[in-house]
Structure 1
Amino acid sequence: MKILELRLANFRNHKKLILNLDYEIVLLTGANGAGKTNILEAVYALSTGKSIKAKYDRDMINYTARFTTAGADIENSSGKYLLEMQVIKEPDASNISSKKTKVNKVPKSLVSFSGIFNSVMFSPEDLNIITGSPSERRKYMDAILVQTDKNYKRNTSAYLKAVRQRNKILEKIAEENRGRDEIGYWTKKCLEHGTYIQEQREKLFDYFNKKLPETVEKLNGKDTAVEIKYLMNEISEERLKKHEEHEVHAKTTLVGPHRDDFCIFHNKHNLSEFGSRGEQRSVMLALKLCEINYIEQENDERPVLLLDDIFSELDENHRSSVFNILEQQQTIITSTEPPDFLSTKSNTHEIKVL
């Protein structure tokens, strides 16, 4: 898996940018604010069809422009592809935009587009996955699974549509005492698609629980009890029926994967509440290494690794662990200055971002 060339138009601060990335290790250097992270954001968006950091798609558009386009020539085990994603502002709507995706210049659905190119991004902000809200952790699960399972994206889109329709009917029942004859159809759709989503999430967490403890142990050089718990808000016919009256009063669907979460226990303590920043950073690095291996297991190909200014955050042991995997896949690194340890990597190509 490799990205050969990246082309950006009106992507955040990059009005027009073309980068040759056809190297094993790419180092993007430049001052803070030059837009190095924005380049990684664009690369990652070509994997999942979504920004890793923007709340709304239109946040990726340069504030002076009406649209943004991110395009790339990529290569995977199936061959070479030309990928393009365009986000267009809707006039007179503050947060609404439309999105178009193409593969080899042919319009494709987001389901068909996502996962052709795979990447894993690691940045200091990833600690929010551990310490932030449940929505951050659901976004993390989804970003992995849309790259490994085409049906996951399809089921997620269908599930969220079903939840929105079901919520409208719940509101109608609560406020107008009508619509009970309509709710059954959307309940069935929620059950169908929600069950698939939770099955795939269970599979992911089974893998994490097998691999995470040994990965943390290798990083830290000592035996550490680590467990990642999938807090499934199980969707089932019985639970939906049981909670239906509560949902009518709340005017929203209370059961299903849109309320899933997970937490990590480190030496039997909740890492979010009781872990030090160092412990959180160590486990997050281990989780990212497991993420790379999971995508490789499912797709028979290692994803591109995106490292966003992480080395100042890591101690020597953890820097060494990252250093040892740099050449196992294409790696793109951002840093204000070239890290000293990269001087021994002759296959590193530096690009200055101005």
Structure 2
Amino acid sequence: MQIKKLYLKNFRNYSEETVEFSDGLNVLYGANAAGKTNMLEAVYLTSIAKTPRTTKEKELVLEGEKYAVVKVLVENNFRSHKVEIIIDDKGKKRILVDSLPINRAGELIGVVAVVFFSPDEMKLVKESPDYRRRFLDISLSQQQKEYFNALVKYNKILKQRNNLLKSDYDDMDAMLDVYDVQLSDVGLVILDKRREFVNTLKTYALKTHKFLSDNGETLEVEYETELTKDNFLKLLKKNREKDKKLSFTTVGPHRDDLKLIVNGKDARKFASQGQQRSIALSLKFAELELYKIETGEKAVLLLDDVLSELDVKRRTQLLELSKEYQTILTCTEFDSYEKAVKFKIENGKIIKREY
């Protein structure tokens, strides 16, 4: 999969700009706040209809304008697609794929596949399990529509169950019996998909982490859950009174985690900043491999300001790993000898292209 062209109008600090990317390494360079990350954000938006930076999508519209437009032209092994997203100044979105409007974000999944890394992705390691579950959910949703549909259904049932727990409904237990069966049925689909994904992911994550650490460290990745096919429904019923007191559901895949072990120690507790970066990168490159295995396509790699914290050797290693994929990379300066198409950005404009 390759992004051939990106068009922006009134998006963040871009009044209007068009970029044609190469199929290899593309470097967006310039001073801080020039608009480099905004361009990556626009590409990411066309992938899952959300941005990694804000939940207030009206912020994406250039100040003083009524709307923003993001368009990408993408090619895969079989055909090309055009994705267009229009956002008004209230944050309302319209999405078109090949000029046809779509009503659900699920219809967009898989049209533009990306793997995104920024310094914030280090939260994957040290922050709450929410970040690691989000990594699993986005990765799997891009690869498998069955997973995305199951996740949407699960979250809908979970919300209904939680709303019931907060209510004064007279016959609550009878309704909880219904929701418990529904939640466990679709939850088991999510569990199976996650376990299968992690079981493959860990092999590639270990390989990448060894490469980045010069064989100095090992990385183990395990899916952490108390749930099984036999006990899910039983645990929901066992924890029912607790759930009533807390007014939310305490059992399910929405409570699970990824265990990350480096050289026998729990990285979620003990990883240094450098280790956190290497672990997060290892997970992202493993995600790229799994997307290729599952779909036969290569996702596009988006790297935001990743070089600034790496020494020369680590930069070289990272660029070596990225060679197999179309890569769009942001940085303040790019002094590598790697072959790349470079775009200098200033104040939301491309002022120089070097092919």
Structure 1 residue 112 and structure 2 residue 107: aligned?
A: yes
Per the TM alignment, residue 126 of structure 1 is displaced from its structure 2 partner at its CA by 1.4
Question: How far off its partner does 1:165 sit?
Answer: 0.9
User: In the superposition, relative to structure 1, how do residues 255 and 275 fare at CA in structure 2: closer, same or farther (>3 Å)?
Assistant: same
Looking at structure 1, the residues matched to 210 and 322 of structure 2 have their Cα atoms a distance apart, in angstroms, of 20
Kept after mapping to 2: 8 A contact 1:170/1:248: yes
Tell me if 1:230 matches 2:226.
no
- Which runs of 5 or more residues in structure 2 are unaligned? 348-355
Q: How does 1:242-253 map to 2 (within 5 A)?
A: 242-253=238-249
- Give the C-alpha shift of residue 353 in structure 1: 4.1
State the secondary structure of the residue aligned to 1:311. coil
Structure 1 residues 260 and 9, CA gap change in structure 2 (3 angstroms): farther
Match of residue 125 from structure 1 = 120
TM-score after normalising by structure 2: 0.89
CA distance in 1, matches of 2:305, 2:210: 24
Cα distance, 1:79–1:231 mapped onto 2, change above 3 Å: same
Q: Which of 314, 323, 328 matches 2:319?
A: 323
Q: Does the 8 A contact of 1:76 with 1:117 survive in 2?
A: no
Instruction: Specify the alignment match of 2:96 in structure 1.
Output: 102
Q: State how 1:3-82 maps to structure 2 within 5 Å.
A: 3-65=3-65, 67-82=67-82
- The separation in 2 between residues aligned to 1:206 and 1:120, in whole angstroms, is 19
Change beyond 3 A, Cα 1:43–1:353: farther
Higher mean Cα deviation, 276-285 or 218-227?
218-227
* 1:197 corresponds to 2:193: no
**Corresponding residue number in structure 1 for 2:284:** 288
Structure 2 CA distance for partners of 1:194 and 1:58, relative to 1, 3 Å? farther
Alpha-carbon deviations, 1:196-253, whole Å to 9, x = none?
A: 1221111121112222223222222225232123222537211111111211111111
Q: CA deviation at 1:348?
A: 2.2
User: 1:179 matched to which residue of 2?
Assistant: 172
Which stretch of the first structure deviates more once superposed, 120-129 or 224-233? Answer: 224-233
Identity of aligned residues (%): 29
Change (3 A) 1:350 1:23: farther
Alignment partner, residue 147 of structure 1: 142
Deviations 1:81-128 (A, max 9, x none): 0112334465xxxxxx54432210112221121111111112222111
CA distance in 1, matches of 2:322, 2:175: 54
Specify the code of the residue in structure 1 equivalent to 2:47.
S
State whether residues 212 and 286 of structure 1, in contact with CA within 8 Å, keep that contact through their aligned partners in structure 2. Answer: yes
Partner SS state of residue 136, structure 1: helix
Pick closer, same or farther for the CA change 1:302–1:156 going to 2, 3 Å: same
Deviation of 1:316 (Å): 2.9
| Cα distance in 1, alignment partners of residues 341 and 178 from structure 2 | 56
* TM-score calculated relative to the size of structure 1: 0.89
2-structure distance, mates of 1:157, 1:65: 33
Q: Residue 351 of structure 2 aligns with which residue? A: none
Quote the Cα distance in structure 1 between the aligned partners of 2:253 and 2:89: 30
Mark the CA change 1:65 to 1:230 in structure 2 (over 3 Å): closer, same or farther.
farther
In 1: Cα distance, 2:225 partner to 2:58 partner: 31
Q: In 1, distance between residues paired with 2:163 and 2:233? A: 20
Q: Indicate conservation of the 8 Å contact 1:219/1:317, yes or no.
A: no
Structure 1 unmatched runs, 5+: 91-96
Contact 1:28 1:353 in 2 (8 A): no
| Maintained 8 Å contact 2:22/2:341 | no
Tell me the distance in 1 between the aligned counterparts of 2:108 and 2:169: 42
Residue 233 of structure 1 contacts residue 259 of structure 1 at CA under 8 Å; is this kept in 2?
A: no
Distance 1:326 1:81 in 2: 24
Shift of 1:60: 3.2
Once residues 28 and 85 of structure 1 are traced to their aligned partners in structure 2, the CA distance between those partners, rounded to angstroms, is: 22
- Once residues 9 and 182 of structure 2 are traced to their aligned partners in structure 1, the CA distance between those partners, rounded to angstroms, is 39
Rounded Cα–Cα distance in structure 2 between residues aligned with 1:275 and 1:74 = 38
Choose which of 164, 170, 178 in structure 1 pairs with 2:159.
164
Tell me how many residue pairs correspond in the alignment. Answer: 343
Q: CA RMSD in A?
A: 2.1
Secondary structure at the aligned position of 1:18 is classed as strand
CA distance in 1, matches of 2:59, 2:253: 26
Aligned AA for 1:10? Answer: N
